[in-house]
Amino acid sequence: MASSSSAAVLARPDAPAHPSAPEDYPWLGPAIRSALLLSEEIVDLDPSGGVDAPTEQVDDALVDIAAIEQALAAEGVAPLAERTLVLAVGSNQTPETIARKYRRSGRDIPVTTPFVRCTVHDLAVGHVASIAAPGYLPAAPYRAEGERMELVATWFDEEQLAVVDETEPNYDRLRLSAEEFPLHLATGQEPAHFDVYASLWGVIAQGDLPIPLRHRQQELFDELVGLTGSSLTRGDAAEVCAALAAAPSALHELVTGHGLVAPDGLPR
Q: Name the burial class of residue 213, with classes exposed (0-12), middle (13-18) and buried (19+) by CB atoms within 10 angstroms of its CB.
A: buried
State percent of the chain over pLDDT 70. Answer: 91
DSSP 93: G
Distance CA 95, CA 191 (A): 22
- E strands along the chain, which residues? 8-11, 35-37, 42-44, 84-88, 113-127, 139-156, 171-177, 183-185, 193-199, 203-206, 209-210, 261-262
Q: Which helix (H) or strand (E) holds 245?
A: helix 237-246
* Overall average pLDDT of the 178-195 stretch: 97
pLDDT(5) > 90: no
CATH superfamily for 8-262 is: Gamma-glutamyl cyclotransferase-like (3.10.490.10)
* Overall average pLDDT of the 166-179 stretch: 96
Q: Is the pTM of this model over 0.85?
A: yes
What does the DSSP assignment read for 200-243?
SS-EEEETTEEPPPPSSHHHHHHHHHHHH--STT-S-HHHHHHH
Do 165 and 52 form a contact (C-beta atoms < 8 A)? no
Domain segments of the chain as ranges: 8-262
